[in-house]
Amino acid sequence: MNNLNAITTDFTAKQQPDKNAWLQTIRDAASERLTSLQLPTKKTEDWKYLKLEKLLASEPIDTESIKDLEAKSVNDINQLLAQSLISSLDAYRLVFVNGVFVSELSQHNNNPYSVLFSEASAAQQELIVAHLDTSHNYYHDYFSSLNSEQFEDGLLIHIPMDCHVEKPFYIVNLTLGEQPKTHMMRVLVVAETGSNATIIEHEDAPLKHTGMVNTVIECFVNDQAKITHSRIQLDESVTSICSHRVQQGRDSIYQQHQISLGAKLKRNDLTVSLQGEHAKTDIRASFYARDQQTIDNHTCLEHIVPNCTSNEVFRGLVDNEANAVFNGRIHIHPDAQKTLAELSNKNLLLSDLATINTKPELEIYADDVRCSHGATVGQIDSEALFYLQSRGISKVEAKRLLSMAFIAEIVGQLTEKSVQEFVTQRLSSLFSSLQYEGEK
Amino acid sequence: MSESNVIDEHINSGYDAGFITDIEMQTFDPGLDENVIRKISAKKNEPEFMLQWRLDAYQQWLKMERPDWAHVKYPEIDFNSIAYYSSPKSQEDAPKSLDEVDPELLRTYEKLGIPLHEQATLAGVAVDMVFDSVSIITTFKEKLAESGVIFCSLSEAVIEHPELIKKYLGSVVPINDNFYSALNCAVFSDGSFVYIPKGVKCPMELSTYFRINEMNTGQFERTLIIADEGSYVSYLEGCTAPSRDENQLHGAVVELVALKGAQIKYSTVQNWYPGDVNGKGGIYNFVTKRGVCHTDAKISWTQVETGSAITWKYPSVILLGDNSVGEFYSVALARNAQQADTGTKMIHLGRNTRSTIISKGISAGKGSNTYRGLVNMSPKAEGARNFTQCDSLLIGDQCAAHTFPYIVSKNPSAIVEHEATTSKVSEDQLFLCQQRGIDPEKAVSMIVNGFCKSVFKELPMEFAVEAGKLLEVSLEGSVG
Amino acid sequence: MLKIANLRATVDDKEILKGLNIEVKPGEVHAIMGPNGSGKSTLSNVLAGRDNYHTTDGTVLFEGKDLLTLAPEERAREGVFLAFQYPVEIPGVSNLEFLKTSLECLHTHQNKPLLSAVEFMKLAREKCKLVDLDTDFLKRGVNEGFSGGEKKRNDILQMLMLEPTLCLLDETDSGLDIDALKVVADGINALRSPDRSFVLITHYQRLLDYVQPDFVHVLVDGQIVKSGGSELALELEEKGYSWLESGTEQPANSLKA
């Protein structure tokens, strides 16, 4: 319980005074919610598989590395960090370090679409206030409310009507140094009617420093708009809780591709509410958890109006003593006739001590719908393993290749080639550094 | 006739078993305390160990909280407004043969389509009749005894076979397992007991027919089936109750023990009074059913659930021994304002254990049907397999269907596959049938029966037909 | 037998049939051909009585009775059979059960004696052979997991069993390989008789190589624009439909092309 108390204190400790006073109503509402919301416990259905105590279990601090870092000049540090970015990606690059925007690492010339909350114009402030926290129609949870109460600054991406933004937005959040507090990362995307944009989010910890991040992303995809969203979570050393909410209008398309590595604790919540007819949602995700990592994925598709389509594919690879959770809910509201919703979750357990908990859920209140879900848990196909072995590849190497291949299918669907290459390279170097049983 | 009219007509049909038997009853005053438990135990002349077991359960129950995780809504139950024991006066001296049974009781069962005279019964089915809190009579007892099979009321078993009761009662569903099972342990009145000796294939189907008749009573029966090594038994239970405006509580516990190489096939046709179109009345069916499979054993649950206002039951199998097999086949229909939250738990502990789950949920009217299941592959369940298929059929736009499967795997060599789909009786299917001259009423029941086929085929022959008919009766007024 | 006069019909408030006239006499085979979207399937669905197809004007007389007032199953019992363009699957309902129920409904209505189980099985086996379906198909769910060709043959099997007086075949030939097409054609030819009529709705002429029609009608934009003998089908095969679509938006352009 001490740890839990510590988490609460840590999370709720008031952060520095707020420059953005115009956000006060939103913060007050969040504070108000927090009086009734509880820090989730094992009895909270949605959090039952997560050991929140793990959040604060102390980890060895890499003092050497931090000393090293402190000795460096800002320029040197930036150069070091720049190496972890996808440099070949031609994009509006927006880099945050520990949740703070770093202009030197960013490339945002001629970018009329994004602005920090702290630099927002009156009109932008109005837009932010009109949207922030309004996508939480279905439920408010503890951590996102904390974020609303305490985030220091946020990023707004606003795509005007009918505007097709050619360059992707590349949002990077790097964790660096031993952090005594939790960073609150806040992103708001408003895609106006008929607009089209690609967003790539990249979370990383280049020096494998530990830290805690509480992220809230809200994404409003208005009528006929299209957002392609890639999320690459490579920050294995960072404890992170992320709440991601999407609201879709008529004929809109929202695509998400997600590649996640596990962490001491990683929690991803994704809620998509389809609020306009003929909206389409497409989610492709893959995660890999190893050692004593925990990854907890919760997705919820709220089909509120008729004639919408959603398709979700989630693949999990769980190794060593890792614990992974997938909970995918499809909720068909009474008016949502003619919905087509599909969900598929496939998992491979790579070790005797790994655990997967999967729960695909259907909650259906309309009759003329076609919904299905499937979930499987198994191990690497022994036929395939044997085939590779018979071609002279060691069992360990074969296992590595097939694990890689299992994730690669999702990686291959990332829309930007340079991102694909970057992820593939990172994953293969991760996999080749792993030692498997029986391997010396 | 439009599709919606047809369906309206189907779902507003009656309930055939809703009559009341007018018979003199001896019923306890409503209320629950230690005294009531002592009185129940005394009524049954139970040995001291049984009374202590009940009192222990009662103490544990008092500390437990009513579960609220199921996807059902109902008002708080006042456990002191329920009478916990009710039996026909004529049963004071337990009748030894059918000739001694009150003819009014016999007529009740005849009316329900269960002829009791041994020569008139379905060939090869032995029946135990439970009326409110007591077992009326068990047929074919002598014939079964010839092969060493014990089939009697649980009350009788407590007295006649205390060693088996002591060893197995509460061994699968512990006293404090859950709120309703703990209550059952404290107040259970009667039920069936089956013991199949080593290597014996039970020569006939065994069956228990449960009837709730008295007002304001709860029925808390308990069934215990022990299949000794290498034996086989097929057991079927049926249940009905009068149509009353008050809700009545049915809190049963069923325990199955399949020892090494034994097989138990347990089938249920549950047709408790479901309440009226507006959800008034009906049975609250809160039941705990669980079996344990030792090495090479197999337990198969098949259920057809058409009745009850609320169903809350998860017939489960603990696959303890290596190579053991668990099966769950279910058809659950929720129409009018019925709510069903049902499914299974397959707990794989042994190596190479196998389980199959086939669940067919039908929601009509304002009914709400939930499949809730758990497949758990423990670290030792080397090579275990599960296959689950959950299909929901929705009829009408005011019903609901939910699927909450929990899958936990801690063994990489275990394979779990889960599939779920939701569909409706499509206009195209209905039109094809009509274009071939079949009227829409018949077409709907044909399509629904087809949907359930993979479960019906698991029922013993005589009951498969009955189940199909029951579904038709539940879905429509008449069947051609 | 069938007399369609000035038939107008809408689907989702859009007028598809715009005053259609056809008369089919006993024993005749009529082919209705036309480009995609001309209203061919609408016609078959209107005749069979599917929901969502609303007739706004005109009459359809079948053996003197007003077909449009009858429920779909009543039309079937009167002897109108529709072979579907996309036969639907009914999982779990066996073909056998389905055929038996259907046949009993028809025979009861037609005051014919019901077949005994043995007679029924004999008949079903016999007809299976005719459409080259293994009798195992009878035990499987209606069209459940059947290939496209098997579904079409299953429809023809039903037609052979039910012996309707008017057979409407809605693009039964689409998606069939040559062997399956022959089987379908053989089924139709086997049923041809002086008191039974056929309406073959098709996009291509190839089914007509095997089933010789007495009349060919061209349906364009909800109306019959041309009628003729079987030679018309060949002409259509050669020239396509565009030459008949004059009067629609851009006749000059299409002629130039």
Residue of A nearest to B4 (CA): A367
Note down the domain range covering B423: 19-435
Q: Nearest by CB to A366, which of B397, B405, B414? A: B397
Q: What percent of chain C has pLDDT over 70?
A: 95
Q: Which of A349, A361, A363 faces B412 most closely, judged by CB atoms?
A: A349
Q: Which two tokens stand for residue C16?
A: 């598809």
* pLDDT for res B96: 67
Residue B393, min C-alpha distance to chain A (Å):
8
Question: Which residue does chain A place closest to B422, by CA atoms?
Answer: A371
Closest chain C residue to the Cα of B450, Cα to Cα:
C92
Dihedral angle computed from the Cα positions of residues B423, B426, B430 and B431, in that order, rounded to the nearest 10 degrees: -160
Please answer whether residues A242 and A431 qualify as being in contact, where contact means their C-beta atoms are separated by less than 8 angstroms: no
C-alpha B128: how far from chain center:
15
Structure tokens at B334: 């929720």
Residue A357 and residue B69: Cβ atoms within 8 Å? no
Q: Which residue has the higher pLDDT, B436 or A440?
A: B436
* pLDDT for C81 beyond 80: yes
The reported pLDDT for the residue numbered B397 is 84
- Average pLDDT, stretch B338-349? 94
Shortest Cα–Cα distance, B380 to chain A (Å):
9
Q: What is the pLDDT of residues A400-415, one digit of tens each?
A: 888 888 888 899 899 8
Strand C29-33 to strand C197-202: parallel, antiparallel, or no bridges (unpaired)? parallel
Place of tokens 């604060």: A56
3-state helix, strand, coil in chain C (%, to 5): 40, 30, 30
Touching pair C, A by Cβ (3+ pairs < 8 Å): no
User: Which range (A274-278, B23-27, C13-17) has the least confidence?
Assistant: B23-27
Instruction: Note whether A291 and A264 are within 8 A (CB).
Output: no
What integer is the mean pLDDT of B63-79?
Answer: 87
What's the pLDDT score for residue C254? 36
CA-derived radius of gyration, chain C: 19
Q: Residue A180: its pLDDT value, please? A: 59
Could B412 and A337 be called an inter-chain contact, meaning their C-beta atoms sit closer than 8 Å? no
CA distances from C170 to C39, C41, C84, C111, C152 (A): 11, 6, 6, 29, 10
Predicted confidence (pLDDT) at residue B173 exceeds the cutoff of 50:
yes
Q: Which of A36, A38, A49 is nearest to A4 (CA)?
A: A38
Return the pLDDT at C253: 37
- List the single residue in A with minimal CA-CA distance to B396: A367
B chain contacts of residue C158, beta-carbon cutoff 8 Å: 436
Residue C83 confidence (pLDDT): 92
Q: Given an 8 Å threshold on Cβ–Cβ distance, is B408 in contact with A355?
A: yes
Low-confidence winner among A373-382, B234-243, B411-420 (lowest mean pLDDT): B234-243
How confident is the model at residue B106, as a pLDDT? Answer: 76
Residues of C in contact with B435 (CB under 8 A): 48-49, 72-73, 75-76, 81-82, 84
Phi and psi at residue B109, to the nearest 5° = -70, -35
- Tell me if C76 and B1 make a contact (CB, 8 A cut-off): no
Is C228 in CB contact (< 8 Å) with chain B?
no
Spatial distance between the Cα atoms of B257 and B359, rounded to a whole number of angstroms: 23
Strands B415-424 and A370-378: antiparallel
Nearest CA in chain B to C107: B437
* Per-residue pLDDT, B99: 73
Average pLDDT, chain B: 85
What pLDDT band is residue C175 in, cutting at 50, 70 and 90? Answer: confident
CA distance B467 to B160: 35
pLDDT of A7 strictly over 70? no
Q: CA of B466, closest CA in chain C: separation in Å?
A: 17
Supply φ then ψ for residue A135, to 5 degrees. Answer: -80, 0
More confident residue, A6 or B84: B84
The larger pLDDT score, comparing residue B399 to residue A57, is at B399
Distance of CA A218 to the CA centre of its chain: 12
CA-nearest residue of chain B to C161?
A: B436
Check residue A395 and give its pLDDT: 78
**Least confident window among A10-24, B67-81, B341-355, B359-373:** A10-24
The SS3 assignment for A307 reads coil
Of A1-10, A264-273, B344-353, the poorest mean pLDDT is in A1-10
Using DSSP's 3-state secondary structure scheme, residue A383 falls into helix
Residue B14: pLDDT band by 50, 70, 90 thresholds? low
How sure is the predictor about B9, in pLDDT bands with cuts at 50, 70 and 90? Answer: very low
DSSP type of residue A54: G
Nearest CB among C76, C91, C93 relative to B435 is that of: C76
Confidence class of residue A77 from pLDDT cuts 50, 70 and 90? confident
Q: For the segment C91-123, what is each residue's pLDDT rounded down to a tens digit?
A: 888 888 888 888 988 999 989 998 888 899 999
- Cα separation, B256 vs B193, in Å, equals 10
pLDDT greater than 70 at residue B478: no
B420: contact with A, CB 8 A cutoff: yes
Question: For residue B156, is it within any domain?
Answer: yes
Q: Which chains touch B (3 or more CB pairs under 8 A)?
A: A, C
The DSSP line for B58-94 is HHHHHT------SS---PPP-TTSSB--EEEGGGSS-
User: Does the distance separating the beta carbons of B410 and A355 come in below 8 Å?
Assistant: yes
At A389 the pLDDT is 75
Mean pLDDT for A236-253 is 94
In chain B, the number of structural domains is 1
* Separation in Å, CA of A320 to nearest CA in chain B: 11
Lowest mean pLDDT among A11-15, A214-218, A380-384, C44-48: A11-15
Shortest CA gap B426–chain C (Å): 9
Q: Which residue of A has its CA nearest to B406?
A: A359
With CA atoms as reference, the chain B residue closest to C141 would be: B450
Mean pLDDT (whole number) for B13-32: 78
Contact B180, B284 (CB under 8 A): no
- How much is the pLDDT for B6? 43
Is pLDDT at B104 greater than 50 in this prediction?
yes
Confidence of residue B115 (pLDDT cuts 50, 70, 90): low
Residue B236 forms part of a structural domain: yes
Q: Using CA of residue C33, residue C39, residue C45, residue C46, what is the dihedral sign? A: negative
On whether the CB atoms of residues C238 and C246 are closer than 8 A, the answer is no
User: Which residues on C lie below 8 Å from B450 (Cβ)?
Assistant: 90-94, 141-142
B450 closest CB neighbour out of C73, C75, C92: C92
> Residue B45: inside a domain, yes or no?
yes
Chains B and C touch (3+ CB pairs under 8 A): yes
What pLDDT does A168 receive? 96
| Mean pLDDT, residues C163-188 | 89
**B428 neighbourhood in chain C, CB within 8 Å:** 88
C92: nearest CB among B426, B432, B451: B451
Please provide the CATH number assigned to the domain covering C2-90+165-246.
Answer: 3.40.50.300
Question: What share of chain B in percent tops pLDDT 90?
Answer: 45
Q: How confident is the model at residue A192 (pLDDT cuts 50, 70, 90)?
A: very high
Contacts of B377 (CB under 8 A, 6+ apart): A377, B348, B384, B386, B408, B409, B410, B411, B414, B416
Q: Chains touching chain A at 3 or more Cβ pairs under 8 angstroms?
A: B
Question: Which pLDDT tens digit goes with each residue over C177-196?
Answer: 888 888 889 989 999 999 99
Q: Which two tokens stand for residue A36?
A: 């009734």
* pLDDT over 80 (residue B291): yes
Q: How many residues does chain C have?
A: 257
- pLDDT averaged over every residue in chain A: 86
- Tell me the pairing of strands B222-227 and B192-196: parallel
pLDDT level of residue B8 (50, 70, 90 thresholds) = very low
Examine the pLDDT at A264 and tell me if it is beyond 90.
Answer: no
B440 vs C contacts (CB less than 8 Å): 73
CA C65, CA B137: separation in Å to the nearest integer? 62
Would an 8 Å CB–CB cutoff place B49 in contact with chain C? no
Confidence of residue B378 (pLDDT cuts 50, 70, 90): very high
* Residue B463, CB-side half-sphere exposure with 13 Å CA sphere: 26
| Residue B324 three-state SS | coil
The answer to whether A370 contacts B422, with C-beta atoms less than 8 Å apart, is yes
pLDDT tens column, A109-156? 889 999 999 999 999 999 999 999 987 655 678 889 889 988 889 999
The token pair at A87 is 């440099």
Residues in chain B: 480
The candidate with the shortest Cα–Cα distance to A205, out of A84, A293, A119, is: A84
Q: Per the structure block, which two tokens stand in for B153?
A: 């009321």
Chain A residues with CB-CB distance to B424 below 8 A:
367-369
Under 8 Å CB-to-CB from A79, ≥6 apart: which residues?
Answer: none
Which residues sit opposite B348 in a β-bridge?
A: B319, B377
| More confident of the two residues C239 and B175 | B175
Say if the Cβ atoms of A372 and B419 lie within 8 Å: yes
Indicate yes or no: CB of B415 within 8 angstroms of CB of A377. Answer: yes
Burial class of residue A383 in the structure, from the number of CB atoms within 10 Å of its CB (0-12 exposed, 13-18 middle, 19+ buried): exposed
- pLDDT greater than 50 at residue B135: yes
Enumerate the residues of chain B whose CB falls inside 8 A of the CB of residue C90.
429, 432-433, 446-447, 450
Tell me which chain A residue has its CA closest to the CA of residue B366.
A365
Phi and psi (nearest 5°) for A266? -135, 125
Q: Is B377 on the interface with A (CB under 8 A)?
A: yes
Quick one: how far is CA C246 from the chain centroid?
A: 28
Q: Which of A379, A22, A66, A420 is nearest to A210 (CA)?
A: A66
CA distance B417 to B395: 27
pLDDT of residue A11: 46
A354 contacts chain B (CB < 8 A): yes
Verify whether the Cβ–Cβ distance C84 to B1 is below 8 Å.
Answer: no
Residues B302-329 pLDDT 10s: 999 888 889 999 999 999 999 999 999 9
Would the pLDDT of A4 be above 50? no
Q: What is the pairing mode between strands C2-11 and B385-395?
A: unpaired
Q: Could you tell me which residue, B295 or B397, shows the higher pLDDT?
A: B295
- Tell whether A214 lies on the interface with B, counting CB pairs under 8 A: no
ipTM of the predicted structure? 0.81
B–C CB contacts, 8 A cutoff, strictly below: 83
Q: Which residues 115-174 of A have a C-beta within 8 angstroms of B?
A: none
Confirm whether B1 is domain-assigned.
no
What's the pLDDT score for residue B161?
Answer: 94
Tokens of B435: 């274009």
CA torsion angle C81 C83 C87 C90 (round to 10) = 30
Cβ atoms of residues B79 and B183 within 8 Å = yes
Question: Would you say C58 and C19 are in contact if contact means Cβ atoms under 8 Å apart?
Answer: yes
The pLDDT of B256-260, averaged and rounded, is 97
pLDDT class of B7 with cuts at 50, 70, 90? very low
Is any Cβ of chain B less than 8 angstroms from the Cβ of A344? no
Residue A279 has pLDDT above 90, yes or no: yes
CA angle B125, B130, B136 (to 5 degrees): 85
d(CA A212, CA A239): 5
Task: Indicate whether C133 pLDDT > 50.
Answer: yes
The pLDDT, as a whole number, for residue B122 is 52
In terms of pLDDT, which residue wins out, B460 or B119? B460
Residue-level length of chain A: 440
Residue B454 lies inside a defined structural domain of this protein: no
Residue among A364, A378, A379 whose CB faces B392 most closely? A364
pLDDT of residue A429: 86
Instruction: Report the gap between the CA of B331 and the closest CA in chain A (Å).
Output: 18
- Residue A58 is predicted with a pLDDT of 55
Q: Which of C70, C73, C170 to mutate to test the interface with B (most CBs of B within 10 A)?
A: C73
- A367 → closest Cβ in B396, B409, B417: B396
Whether B479 has a pLDDT exceeding 60, the answer reads: no
Helix H or strand E encompassing A243: strand A238-248
Residue B480 predicted with pLDDT over 70: no
Per-residue pLDDT at B460 = 78
Cβ–Cβ of C92/B452 closer than 8 Å?
yes
Query: How many Cα neighbours within 13 Å face the side chain of C107?
Result: 14
pLDDT digit string (tens) for A344-399? 999 999 999 999 999 999 999 998 899 999 999 999 887 787 777 777 777 778 88
What pLDDT score does B385 carry? 96
* Structural domain spans, chain C: 2-90+165-246
pTM for this predicted structure = 0.84
What is the pLDDT at residue B474? Answer: 65
Mapping DSSP to helix (H, G, I), strand (E, B) and coil, where does residue C130 land? helix
- What is the reported pLDDT for C246? 60
pLDDT in tens, B204-221: 888 888 887 777 788 888
